[in-house]
A and B are shown apart, each in its own frame.
Chain A
Amino acid sequence: MEQWVVVTIVITLYLALTLTIGLLAGRRQTDSVAGYVAADRSFGLLVMYFVTGASVFSAFAFLGGPGWAYSRGAAAFYILAYGALGMAPFYWIGPKVASLGRKHGFVTQAQLITGRFPSRNLSGLIALLSLIAFVPYVTLQMRGAGIVIEAVTDGNVPIWLGSAVAYGIVIAYVLSAGAMAVGWTNTFQGIFMVLIAWSLGLYLPHALYGGIGEMFTQIIAERPELLAPPGLTASGEPWSWGAYSTFILVSAVGLMMWPHLFMKAFTAKDDDTLRRTVILFPTFQLFLIPVFLIGFSGVLFPGSPPSSDFILPFMILETELPALVVGLFCAGALSASMSTGDALLHASASVVVEDGVQQFVDLNEHTQRRLMQGLVLLTGAIAYIFAQDPDSSLVLLLASAYGIIAQFAPPVVAALYWKRATTTGVIAGLIAGAATAFFFWQSPELKPFDMHEGIVGLMVHIPVLIGVSLATPPQSQLHLERFFD
C-alpha cells in the first residue's frame, strides 16, 4: 500500500473518533442557551485545562510557529513570550468575572461589559468587532487543516477538499452539542497534541543533527543572522525591536479578551478550578519549545517546502518515518487546528446572537439556539472562502486579528475596576481605538516605531475612554452597588 493511503486511513480513523467523542458529549447537557453556550457551568480542572490550552494552541502554534522559526528565526520567540504574561492577570479577573456571571446570569463578555455600561449599541458593536476578529482566526485554522491534509496525501487531497472535510466534522459536533462537545473533544485533542509535539520536537534534532545543541551550533555557524534577536522579517531583513516588543504586548493584552477564552470564566465549575487553570497554563506555553525545534530542524535541511507554513508536514514526510507514525503526527496537527476552530465557531455564533441580534429582536430560547447553529454554518462558510487564498501567512492572520481584540481590554478593566467610567466613555474609547487600529493596519508605513497597530489603537483608546468618562456624568450609586460588593 502506498504511504499516503496509509496516512489517509489513520487520519480518517482519527477524525471519526473525534466526531464520536463530540457527539456523545452533547448528550450530557441540558437543551438551553446556558447549556449550549456555557455547558451548564460544569467543567472541572482536567477539562478546563485542556479546553484552554487546546483552544489557545491552534494551527497558529502548530504550523505557524514552526513556520516562523524556520523562516524568521528568533522572531518566533515573541510567540513564546506573550502567553504567560497574558494569562496571569486572569488569576484575579477570572474569578471576579465568574462571580458576576453567576450573580447576573452573564454567559458572554459583552453581557458583562453592558451589564455595567447598559447600551444596546455597545453590545452590538462588541458583537460586530468580535465577528470581524473571528473570521481571520477561523480562516487560519481551516487553512491549517487543509495544509496538513494536502501535504501528507502528496497533493491527492487538495486544500479545498481537506479543509472542507475537517471542518464539516467540526461543524457537525458544534451544531449538535455546543460547549460540551468543544470541551470533551479539546481534552482528547489537547493530550494528543502535547504527546506529538514533544516526541517529534525531540526526535528530529537528534535524528538529523545528533542533538539540540548540535543543531543550534550548526545554525549559528551557517545562518548567524537567523538566531540574532529579534530575528528576521518575512523578506529576510532584520526585524525591529519596536515590532517585536509590541507584538508581545498586543498579544498579551488581547489573549484573554478573545471571547472564546474569556467565556471560559463562565464555564468553570468554581473559582478554584479557574485559578488552577491559570496557574497551569504556562506549562502549555512551554510546549512551544518542541514546536519551534521542529521548525529549526528544517533550516539546514536540504530542500524546502512550498511555503514556510508547510514546514512541519514537510519535515515529517522527508524524514522517512513509518506511514503509521506520519498519520498520527498529522492527526496531532489537525487536532490543533480543529480544537481551536470549534471553540471559535461556537463562540462567534454565541456572541452574535446573544449580544447582537438578541439586543434588538426578542427571541425565545429555541429560536436563539437555532439561529446560533445557522451562524456557525455561515461563519464557517465565510472563513472557508478566505482560506483558499494561497498568499496568507498563518501567523500574520492572527496577529492582525489581535489588533481588534486587544481593544476589548480597556472596557473590561473599566467595567470591573473603575467606578467613574461611563457608558459614553467606553463607547467613544472603543470606536476611537478600533478605528485607529484599522487605519494603521491599512497604512503600515505610517506606524510610529514600527509598532503593532493594536498598540497604537490602545494609545488612543485609553485616553479617550478616561477623558470622555470624566466629561460625562458618573453612573448612579444604585447601579454601581449592583456591580461592586
Chain B
Amino acid sequence: MSLKTARILAAAYHLLMLYFVTWPGILPFAKAEPLILGLPFTMAWIAGWIAGSVIVLTLLDRVEKRFRVVEGGDD
C-alpha cells in the first residue's frame, strides 16, 4: 500500500468515527439494549470505535516506517 493511501484511509477512519459517535450518525446506535459484553449498547459502540483506532494507527505506523527506512530520514 502506498503511503498516501494509508494516510487517507487512517484519516477517513477517524472522520467516520466522528460521524458515528455524534449526532446524527449515532442515532441508530443510541440505545441501552441489547447489552454487549454486559455494557449498554452505545457505550460498547463507542468503545469499539476506540479499539479500532488503535488497530488503524498501528497499521498506519507499519506502512509509514517502511517508507521512512527507504528515505533514510526521520521526517
Contacts and interface: CB of A to CB of B under 8 A. Distances in A.
A280 B58 CA distance: 9
A213 interface: yes
Interface residues on A, range: 35 or more
Contacts of B51: 282, 286
Given A242-B23, A279-B58, A77 B38 contact: no
Contact of A286 (B30, B50, B64): B50
A77 B40 CA distance: 10
Nearest to B27: A241
Given A81-B21, A252-B18, A270-B74, A230 B30 contact: yes
A272 B62 CA distance: 11
A245 interface: yes
Contacts of A212: 37-39
A385 interface: no
Interface string B24-62: 101000111101011110110011011101100110110
Contacts of B49: 81, 84
A289 interface: yes
A79 to B, nearest CB: 10
Interface string A239-256: 001101100110010000
Nearest to B44: A289
Contacts of A81: 21-22, 46, 49
Given A85-B18, A244-B22, A245-B22, A227 B50 contact: no
Interface string A88-101: 11011001000100
B75 interface: yes
A474 to B, nearest CB: 25
A289 B61 contact: no
Contacts of B10: 88, 91
Contacts of B18: 85, 248-249, 252
Contacts of A31: none
Interface of B: 7, 10, 14, 17-18, 21-24, 26, 30-33, 35, 37-40, 42-43, 46-47, 49-51, 53-54, 57-58, 60-61, 64-65, 74-75
21 contacts: A74-B32, A77-B42, A84-B14, A85-B17, A85-B18, A89-B14, A91-B57, A92-B7, A99-B75, A216-B35, A220-B32, A242-B23, A245-B23, A252-B18, A272-B65, A279-B54, A279-B57, A279-B58, A280-B54, A282-B53, A286-B51
Given A80-B46, A245-B22, 5 more contacts: A80-B50, A279-B57, A282-B54, A289-B39, A289-B43
- Top 8 A-B pairs, shortest CB-CB distance: A213-B38, A212-B38, A245-B22, A227-B32, A229-B30, A241-B23, A279-B57, A84-B53
